[in-house]
Homo-oligomer: A and B are copies of this chain.
Amino acid sequence: MSLTQAILTSLLEKPCTGAELARRFDKSLGYFWQATHQQIYRELGAMERDGLIAAHGLPTARGRQRHFTVLAPGRAALETWCAGEGELRPIRDELLVRMRGAAVLGTVDVSAELRRHQGLHHEVLQRYEAIAERDFPSGAQRSTADELQLAVLTAGIVYEKSWLAWCEDVLAGPAGD
């Protein structure tokens, strides 16, 4: 599972608490991997037991902040994993299930839902493009790390653009007959 590795990456960038991690998953990390705070605390507990990370601040009290840092085995585990191979993740999209169902039923119109998705994808795309322009302005000098981070962001942009184009295509196509 990638949650462990996403957490290790984020903690390597800057050690922090579980709640701060949850906030990061709602921002930059969330562009390519999502997690709720319950998942994060569960995973942090397991990672601590496995000796990948360590906490400063005692686990005895409940509401006490615990700052986590990555230990050497954690960094090693991340390096090994990052150098490894993974599978392609196939599409798994509710909207497509709806459309396939509508095709069979013949009594449902999905065009409104298509337009709604078009709008949502448009919003997300604009958000990504704003971040790209802010953090990686074109023409600026970039390190290898910057190139990689920009590539990750670009994946999101390409992804949203392709869905947008598809929505336009499907909405225009059948009507154009």
Out of B32, B75, B105, B163, name the residue touching A100 (CB < 8 Å): B32
Complex formed: what's the CA distance from A10 to B9 in Å?
A: 42
Instruction: Give a binary string over A16-32; 1 marks a CB under 8 Å from any B CB, 0 the rest.
Output: 00000000000001111
Name A103-124 residues within 8 Å CB distance of B: 103-110, 113, 116-117, 120-121, 124
> Would B103 and A145 count as touching, CB distance under 8 A?
yes
- The closest CB in chain B to the CB of A153 belongs to B96
Residue A130 CB within 8 A of the other chain: no
Instruction: Give a binary string over A39-52; 1 marks a CB under 8 Å from any B CB, 0 the rest.
Output: 00000000000000
Residue A147 CB within 8 A of the other chain: yes
Contacts of A103 in B (CB 8 A): 144-146, 148-149, 152
> Would A2 and B94 count as touching, CB distance under 8 A?
yes
Instruction: Give a binary string over A154-177; 1 marks a CB under 8 Å from any B CB, 0 the rest.
Output: 111011011101100110011000
Contacts of A31 in B (CB 8 A): 90-91, 96
Complex formed: what's the CA distance from A16 to B78 in Å?
A: 46
- The closest CB in chain B to the CB of A12 belongs to B104
Given the interface pairs A106-B145, A159-B162, A162-B158, the reply to whether A98 lies near B116 with Cβ below 8 Å is no
Out of B34, B120, B155, name the residue touching A96 (CB < 8 Å): B155
CB distance from A40 to the nearest CB of B (A): 15
Residue A88 CB within 8 A of the other chain: yes
Per CB-CB distance, the 9 closest pairs between chain A and chain B, nearest first, are A162-B162, A103-B148, A32-B96, A86-B94, A82-B101, A103-B145, A151-B170, A82-B108, A2-B97
Can you give 30 contacting A-B residue pairs, CB < 8 Å?
A5-B97, A5-B98, A5-B101, A6-B97, A9-B97, A9-B104, A13-B104, A29-B100, A32-B96, A33-B92, A34-B92, A79-B105, A82-B98, A82-B101, A82-B105, A83-B108, A85-B116, A86-B98, A87-B94, A88-B124, A99-B148, A100-B148, A103-B146, A103-B149, A110-B148, A147-B173, A151-B173, A154-B166, A154-B170, A161-B162
